[in-house]
Amino acid sequence: MKDMNNAARKMLSVLPFLALAILVMTGFLWYTGRLSLSFEPLSTYANPLLGISFRYPTSWEPDLRYGTIGDLSGRYEGDNGFFGLDAIASSDDIAKITSNLVNHKLKPYGERPTIVTLTAGDQDARVIIPSKDQANDKKEVALIVRYPKPMRINSSQYNYLLVVADPAHIKVFADTLQFK
């Protein structure tokens, strides 16, 4: 009986460390994008003209004040966020495109934004995270992704997709982006 009490005490002394290890691992998986803690229902946005699809919160609605891209709204909004779409017609590399956006004379991402390199839709991508001095109330974050091959939209050729969104949802868009 005494041996069982010692074994039980040893087990109980290990449990806090085990719980901490599980908590740290869960946090790491969430931070690296391998675990999603979002339970928000998602719908699929697909735009054949832009040649893309990605997931977005089901509760969001098209905002037609910003116009359409093809037959679809290029901007959706909801109580907890938004996204807006555009395409960039430039043959510059992605670093130059990102630099041009960051260094625009209006400083739309603040004085010292952070640039993160990642992959979205199996393509080279960048995320511009605004600095705290960003003037925009909505705290827009930008995702720039190189198209796998240049897209012909109407009579122009575009090499990059630009997704402007709220910070809380940009990772969902990057993680679920697919080129058609």
User: Which tokens go with 158?
Assistant: 């575009």
Helix (H, G, I), strand (E, B) or coil at 87: strand
pTM: 0.77
Q: Which CATH architecture has domain 42-179?
A: 3-Layer(aba) Sandwich (3.40)
How many Å apart are CA 102 and CA 80, to the nearest integer?
25
Q: Of 90, 85, 130, which is closest to residue 107 (Cα–Cα)?
A: 130
> Can you give the length of the chain in residues?
180
150 touches 159 (CB < 8 A): yes
Q: Domain boundaries in the chain?
A: 1-37, 42-179
Would you call 99 helix, strand, or coil by DSSP? helix
Q: Which two tokens stand for residue 74?
A: 């290029």
Q: Provide the residue type at 123 as one letter.
A: Q
Q: What is the pLDDT along the chain (180 residues), one digit of tens a residue?
A: 566 677 667 666 766 665 555 654 554 444 444 444 457 899 999 999 999 999 999 999 999 888 888 778 889 999 999 999 999 999 999 999 999 999 999 899 999 999 999 999 999 999 999 998 887 666 899 999 999 999 999 899 999 999 999 999 999 999 999 999
